[in-house]
Amino acid sequence: MSSGNFKLIRGCSGYKGMKRETIVIIGGGFAGMNLAKRLDSNRYEVKLIDRNNFHSFPPLFYQIASSGLDASNISFPFRREFKKKRNVTYHMGHVKNIDVEKHEVTTSYETIKYDRLVISAGTTNNFFGMSGLSENVFCIKTVAEAAHTRDEILDRLERGALQPDVKRRRELLSFLVVGGGPSGVEIAGALGEMKRDILPREYPELDPDDVSITLVEGNDRLLAAMSEKSSSKALDYLHNLMVDVRLNTTMKGYSDKIVTYGDGHSEYRETLIWTAGVCGEPMPGLPQEVIGRGGRLKVDEYNRLIGYEESIYALGDIALMQTEEYPNGHPQVAQPAIQQAINLAGNLNAGEFKTKFVYNDKGSMATVGKNKAVVDLAKVSFGGSLAWWAWMFIHLISLIGMRNKLNVMLNWIWNYCTYSTSLRLLLRPTKYPLRRHWGD
């Protein structure tokens, strides 16, 4: 396999006799943003493609869905972030095709040539082949999905408050969360807090017993990637928040508001929130042989795409780097994406691939509600208030922009003290005029 060396002779004003190479980055998540900010501006011209004109913070999407934070609190415009990086430009668009022979990326609006291509597009929802789910369930994988889910939750509460028939009211207020990973546990816990603490204050027409919140998980415990101690604590926390947790339960289908489970029984659920799985964002034009398990792209230990080591790389959730320690690839969370981006930037700036990627696992954490969280570090696991404050601190300092940090901190302090927020606003988008390119 080629070592991928590409050393240049650097002069006083850049690299002698060489113009800057064009690196196209697809996706402005944790990996794409960190790579773009670290690439040598003397050596590379960087073009970042993303369908949204902002970077967002996925670990807090559930707080948008539960009206805890506004989307603007956890998002930051690319153009503002890169205003001092004169070698980086943002290009809005959805990737329609990658021509690996011509070195071209075609988006909804343009075709861009590249010398080197970095794919860090992340993942999308995985419905495991169940038909109709994408049109009928609510998700929290993107800012837009989380905001839509928030609107639907508020819609059900308002309609339930107006419904005189008890049976229909309980149908309207039946929520099902599918998936017991961090996102599922966090949104279920947030719904539980709304049921226990918000309804008595703001929805006096509703009896909290009319609201049913159920979380189903196919494994025998929650938070399967974390320690058994953390899984057990998370289960206890959800029970305290009046969430019905069903383990070893799989879903087979959802149609006309009827959920069918693997054991054959079915039940009515007005609102189904899907957090059960992800797969790599499809990249049209790439050959099938580079696509591995879960739609992820096969890369070597330097994050170079197998078979295209000289010109194409993949980072973060969409990258499948199989090692002895991680035979199914690295965890699809923020830290591997950030660390891979830093490592690749170092190799590209050095002009040779000499540093292999080695993942430094800094631990895992999940929050279930106020003063309820779990943290796994290398040698210790803990939960409760200390874990909750640790979770808040880590997520707060990870946000981009001082304004966002201050807004989130103020929101959290206010909510902690009052359980009140001004963000429970039901904002339905207007239908006209239609914009066909929204679906591109």
272 and 139 housed in the same domain: yes
With contact defined as beta carbons under 8 Å apart, do 214 and 246 qualify? yes
DSSP SS3 for 228: helix
Q: Does residue 166 belong to any structural domain of this protein?
A: yes
In the chain, what percentage of residues exceed pLDDT 70? 94
Residue 161 has pLDDT above 60, yes or no: yes
206 and 178 housed in the same domain: yes
Question: Could you read off the pLDDT of 246-283 as tens digits, one per residue?
Answer: 999 999 999 999 999 999 999 999 999 999 989 999 99
Average pLDDT over residues 369-394: 94
What band does 2 get if pLDDT is binned at 50, 70 and 90? very low
Q: Does residue 180 belong to any structural domain of this protein?
A: yes
Residue 133 has pLDDT above 60, yes or no: yes
Average pLDDT over residues 196-223: 95
Q: Does residue 235 belong to any structural domain of this protein?
A: yes
Q: At what angle do helices 402-418 and 385-398 cross, to 10 degrees?
A: 150
pLDDT at 422: 64
Q: At what angle do helices 182-193 and 228-240 cross, to 10 degrees?
A: 20
Higher pLDDT, 358 or 3: 358
Rg over alpha carbons for the chain, rounded to the nearest Å, is 23
Mean pLDDT of the chain: 92
What band does 425 get if pLDDT is binned at 50, 70 and 90? confident
Question: Could you read off the pLDDT of 80-107 as tens digits, one per residue?
Answer: 999 989 999 999 999 999 999 999 999 9
In the chain, what percentage of residues exceed pLDDT 90? 84
Joined together, the tokens standing for residue 314 give: 């993949």
Task: Return the CATH number at 58.
Answer: 3.50.50.60
Q: Does residue 405 belong to any structural domain of this protein?
A: no
Q: Which of 276, 311, 335 is the last residue of a domain?
A: 276
Q: Which of 242, 260, 276 is the last residue of a domain?
A: 276
149 and 39 housed in the same domain: no
User: What is the rounded CA–CA span in Å between residue 6 and residue 352?
Assistant: 6
Q: Which of 301, 328, 350 is the last residue of a domain?
A: 350
pLDDT at 8: 45
43 and 118 housed in the same domain: yes
Question: Could you read off the pLDDT of 312-324 as tens digits, one per residue?
Answer: 999 999 999 999 9
255 and 303 housed in the same domain: no
**Count of helix runs (H) and strand runs (E) in the chain:** 12, 27
Report the first-to-last Cα separation within the chain, whole angstroms: 37
Q: Does residue 158 belong to any structural domain of this protein?
A: yes
Q: Does residue 378 belong to any structural domain of this protein?
A: no
Amino acid at residue number 266: S
Question: Could you read off the pLDDT of 25-82 as tens digits, one per residue?
Answer: 999 999 999 999 999 999 999 999 999 999 999 999 999 999 999 999 999 999 999 9
Q: Find the range with the poorest average confidence among 102-106, 140-144, 230-234, 413-417.
A: 413-417
Q: Which domain holds residue 262?
A: 133-276
Q: How far is CA 163 from the centre of its chain?
A: 35
pLDDT at 1: 42
66 and 191 housed in the same domain: no
Looking at residue 352, the DSSP 8-state letter turns out to be S
What residues have CB less than 8 Å from 34, skipping those under 6 apart? 337, 338, 341, 342, 345
Q: Does residue 168 belong to any structural domain of this protein?
A: yes
Q: Does residue 385 belong to any structural domain of this protein?
A: no
Peptide bond just before 282 cis, omega within 30 deg: no
270 and 289 housed in the same domain: no
142 and 247 housed in the same domain: yes
pLDDT at 124: 95
271 and 141 housed in the same domain: yes
Higher pLDDT, 354 or 3: 354
Domain total for the chain? 2
260 and 288 housed in the same domain: no
Backbone phi, then psi, for 76, in 5-degree steps? Answer: -145, 125
Residue 157 has pLDDT above 70, yes or no: yes
Average pLDDT over residues 226-250: 97
